[in-house]
Structure 1
Amino acid sequence: MVSVLFVCLGNICRSPMAEAIFRHYVIEEGLENEIHIDSAGTGDWHIGEPPHQGTMLKLKEYGISSQGIYARQVKQNDFDQFQWIVGMDTSNVENLHKIAQTTHSHVYPFIQFIPGTAYEGVPDPWYTGNFQETYDLVQQGCKNLLNEIVTKHGLSKK
Structure 2
Amino acid sequence: MIRVLFICHGNICRSPMAEFVLKDMVKKRGLEDEFYIESAATSTEEIWHGVGNPVYPPARAKLREHGIGTSDNELGVSEKRARQTVCGDYEKFDYIIGMDSANMRNMQRIYGGDPENKVYKMLDFAGRSADVADPWYTGNFDATWNDVVDGCNGLISKVIGATT
1:84 maps to 2:95? yes
Q: What is residue 16 of structure 1 aligned with on the other side?
A: 16
User: Is 1:102 equivalent to 2:113 in the alignment?
Assistant: yes
State the secondary structure of the residue aligned to 2:150: helix
User: Could you tell me which of 55, 69, 79 is aligned with 1:51?
Assistant: 55
**Aligned AA (2:123):** I
Deviation at 1:144, TM superposition (A): 1.3
* 1:127 is the counterpart of 2:137: yes
Structure 2 equivalent of residue 29 of structure 1: 29
Query: Identity across aligned pairs (percent)?
Result: 40
State how far apart, in whole Å, the 1-side matches of 2:153 and 2:114 are.
26
- Among 74, 83, 86, the residue aligned to 1:75: 86
Q: Distance in 2 between matches of 1:30 and 1:67?
A: 22
Q: For the aligned residues, what is the CA RMSD?
A: 1.1
Structure 2 unaligned segments of length 5 or more: list them: 70-76
Unpaired runs of 5+ residues, structure 1, are none
Tell me by how many angstroms 1:8 deviates.
Answer: 0.2
1:113 to 125, 134, 143: 125
Matching of residue 140 in structure 1 with residue 144 in structure 2: no
CA shift at 1:49, angstroms?
1.2
1:68 Cα shift? 2.6
With structure 2 as the length reference, what TM-score do the two structures score?
0.89
- 4+ runs deviating over 2 angstroms: none
Give TM-score scaled by structure 1 length.
Answer: 0.92
Structure 2 Cα separation of the partners of residues 2 and 76 of structure 1: 19
How far apart are residue 19 of structure 1 and its match?
A: 0.2
